Chain A
Amino acid sequence: MPSPDDHWLDEEAGPVVRPYALIRGRTRASGETLDLIAIITAVRGVEVDPSSLDPEHLAVLRLCRLPTSVAEIAADLDLPLGVVRILLGDLRERSLLAIHHPIPPARLPDVQILKEVVDGLRRL
């Protein structure tokens, strides 16, 4: 009989909590779908009661003290994109995030910006 002291769950066993349990089984985020390259910034100066949020929400807020893309949030927190989008949707509903949506290429204010990209790449 294994004793309660046996550590049979280690890193190798994978996450103890399945990703979608973190978000209580939800599969759709509130609001519009966030693009992978939308830039998320935590709004400063807002009092947050940490006990009202899950640790994953707090991790997102910590990461987004500096503007961070949705894809990078998922990679850094090692969470599936779908889960991250739901966490971001929760935080957005509470007005804790500033979200900057990417501009579609056809609506770039100035196509010259792509010239700048080419010049920048040449310097790499």
Chain B
Amino acid sequence: MAYAASNQPGRMGHMPVTIKILIAGGFGVGKTTLVGSLTEIRPLRTEEPLSEPGAAVDRLDGVERKSTTTVALDFGRITIRENLVIYLFGTPGQERFWFMWDELARGALGAIVMADTRRLADCFPCVDYFEQRGIPFVVGVNCFDGARRYRPDAVRRALDLDPTVPVVLCDARQRASCRDALIALVEHALQVLRDRSDQAAAAPGAVPAGEPAPAAAPAGE
């Protein structure tokens, strides 16, 4: 780990600041690839065994899934400086793992929602999720080989995004491209936090800025 072994309470400069960013999107859209392109360590994976009576039918047609399964979380790390570290978490792609999201989303700075223009609808649930909870996000259009290129504006219209939500084109295999998407997200989150803190200042007694709305279970659980 990158931290010095200093642990004195009350000294902000010595306290580790950890920032959680989610990489979301449909199954197979390139989330794990993006995490792998950005992480300074080998991509890590932790698995959580689950027993799921009544799990929703998996979309991999014809593949019977057992009712006990594991949900894998891919994650990576970027050290900005000592005591300032970003953790990237790839969210589970299948919708039956929605319940994991509330834990992942708690305290997250924001999310990159990855989109594949050939299957744009796959990222609708992610867009809805972050919109409903007021978590800042950008849409990263993963430019797959052979897929038709669309202008960001076309993707924005197709997803019916708020005009303030950035749409960036990226290649999940290219570190520089992923980094730019991440910068777009952090800058967007910064703006959102500032706007909210301005609004809170204008309306005293309002809910603290940036507090995610209480997590309601998404439909279909």
Contact = CB atoms under 8 A, between A and B. Distances in A.
Interface of A: 19, 33, 35-39, 41, 65-69, 71-72, 74-76, 80-82, 98, 100, 102-109, 111, 113-118, 120-122, 124
Range class of the B interface residue count: 35 or more
Contacts of A121: 78, 80, 179, 182-183, 186
B106 A35 contact: yes
Given A71-B44, A105-B109, A36 B89 contact: yes
B107 A72 contact: no
Contact of B44 (A33, A75, A80): A75
Interface stretch (B46-54, B147-155, B161-169): B46-54
Given A102-B107, A104-B107, A68 B193 contact: no
Given A71-B44, A106-B210, A66 B3 contact: yes
Given A66-B1, A104-B211, A122-B183, A117 B19 contact: yes
B196 A37 contact: no
Q: Which 6 A-B pairs have the closest CB atoms?
A: A106-B210, A120-B80, A75-B44, A74-B46, A67-B3, A37-B18
Nearest to A79: B46
Interface string B38-49: 000000111111
Contacts of B210: 104-107
Interface of B: 1, 3, 5, 7, 12, 15-20, 44-49, 70, 73, 75, 77-78, 80-81, 84, 86-87, 89, 103-104, 106-110, 175, 179, 182-183, 186-187, 189-190, 193-194, 196-197, 208-211
A111 B190 contact: yes
Contact of A117 (B20, B108, B186): B186
14 contacts: A37-B87, A71-B75, A72-B44, A75-B44, A104-B107, A105-B108, A106-B193, A106-B211, A107-B208, A108-B17, A111-B194, A114-B186, A118-B183, A118-B190
A19 B1 contact: no
Contact of B84 (A38, A106, A107, A117): A117
B15 to A, nearest CB: 6
A41 B107 contact: no
A68 B189 CA distance: 26
A67 B6 CA distance: 9
